Chain A
Amino acid sequence: MAETITLEVQRYNPEKDTEPGLQTYEVPLKKEWVVLDALNYVKDKVDGSLSFRWSCRMGICGSCGMMVNGEPKLTCATFLTDYAPGTVRVEPLKHFPVLRDLVVDITDFLAKLSRAKPWLIRKQEKPLAEGEYLQTPEQLDAFKQFSMCINCLLCYAACPVYGLDPLFSGPAAIALAQRYNMDSRDQGAAQRLDILSHSDGIWGCTFVGECTEVCPKHVDPAGAIQQYKLTATTEWFKSMLMPWRGE
C-alpha cells in the first residue's frame, strides 16, 4: 500500500473568495482511516483554517455528510483505501448554499422539517397514569424504517428535484412525516396531508429514487414518498366519491 494519498478539498471563504476552489493535500494512507480522519489530519497538522462539521465518527450524529468524488457520503464511513491509488475529491454537499469550505447551510431543511409536523398528534392525549399507548411489534415495524433518519441530508444532495427547485420539501422531511403517519399511535395524518399534498410536497417528487440509494441508514425516502402519493390519491378519490364524509 502506498504511504500517502492525495486529497483535493474544496475551499471557500466568503470573506475572501468569490467562488470556491480546490486545494490539494497529501495525507497518510492507513487501512482504518476514513475521509474524515484525513480532514482532521489536515486541520490538526497542516492547515487549521479548513472548516468542516463532525462529531460522533460512528455514523449516527449525521454531521459529516460531504461529496466524495462526486457522491454524497458520510465521511466517517468512507475509507481512503477505497479510492487508492488515485485522488479523493471532497466537496460540500450538493444543492445547499456553501457557508465555508465544506460547511453548508441547512436551515432550509430544518424549516421544512418543522412544516411536516414530525411529532405525535393525538385528538385526545392519554394521561400518563393510564400507561402506554399499546403498540405491537408489527405496528412498530410498520414505521420503524422511516424513524431511522439521522438528518444527514445525503438524500437532498442526491435529489435533482431539490437541486432544481429549492422549494421542494425533499426526501427526509417527507419520510419523517410518513414516519408519524404510519405510527399506530398517531392521529395527525390528515393535518400533514394538507401540508404535503401540494406541488412542492409529495407531487414535486418525480421518483428518481437516488435518495434511497445514498441513504446510509436504509430509510428509503423514495418509498415513503410514493406510498404517501398512493394515500393522497386514495384520500382524494374518497373525498370526491363520498363528500359527506367530511373532516
Chain B
Amino acid sequence: MAIPTYYPPRAYRTRVSTYWWLRSWPYLRFILRELSSISVAWFVLVTLLQLGALHRGPAEYARFGEWLRSPLMIAGNAVALFFLLFHAITWFNLAPKAMAVRIRGKRVPPLFITVPNYIAWLAASLFVAFVLLRG
C-alpha cells in the first residue's frame, strides 16, 4: 500500500538524553542487568588465570591463591558476585516471557517456568558446595 508524497511541516524531534536510564527504576534495573555482563567476563577471566596457575605448578598456584586473598580482590569479587546474583534473578524472572510453553493447548503459568530455574540453580549450587566442602 502506497502513501502519497506530502510536505511535512517542521516536526520537532526530541533527542534521548544520555542519562535516560536514570529516569526510572525499570530502566536502571535494565542497565544494571546489562552491566552485569562485565562481572561474568571477570569471573571467566579469573577462572582462566586460575587454570593457568594450576598448569604452571603448585608454587605458582599458591601465589595465585595469595593474590585472590588480597582485600582488593575480595571486594572486587563481592561486587561481581552481587551483579551475578542480580543477573540470575532478573533473568529467571524474565524467562517465562521468552518461553511460551503450552501443555494441552493451555499456556503454562509463569511460575512453572521460573520455579524450575531456581530449583536447578539451587541444585547446582548444592552440588558445587558438596564438591568443595567434602574434604
Q: Which residues of A contact B (CB under 8 A)?
A: 12, 14-15, 19-20, 70, 94-95, 97-100, 105, 107, 110-111, 114, 136-139, 141-142, 160, 163-164, 206-210, 212-213, 220, 222-223, 226-227, 229-230
Contact = CB atoms under 8 A, between A and B. Distances in A.
Interface residues of B, number: 28
B60 interface: no
Interface of B: 1, 3, 8-14, 16, 20-21, 23-24, 26-27, 30, 34, 94, 97-100, 102, 104-107
A15 B9 contact: yes
Contact of B26 (A12, A70, A141, A209): A209
Contact of B98 (A139, A163, A226): A226
Given A160-B27, A208-B30, A227-B100, 7 more contacts: A14-B11, A19-B12, A98-B14, A100-B9, A160-B16, A209-B26, A230-B99
Contact of A160 (B8, B20, B106): B20
A124 to B, nearest CB: 24
Given A98-B14, A209-B94, A223 B100 contact: yes
B105 A141 contact: yes
A210 B100 CA distance: 19
26 contacts: A14-B11, A14-B12, A15-B9, A97-B12, A98-B11, A98-B13, A99-B11, A100-B9, A137-B105, A138-B102, A138-B104, A138-B105, A138-B106, A142-B102, A142-B107, A160-B30, A163-B16, A163-B20, A206-B34, A207-B98, A208-B30, A210-B26, A213-B26, A223-B100, A226-B98, A227-B98
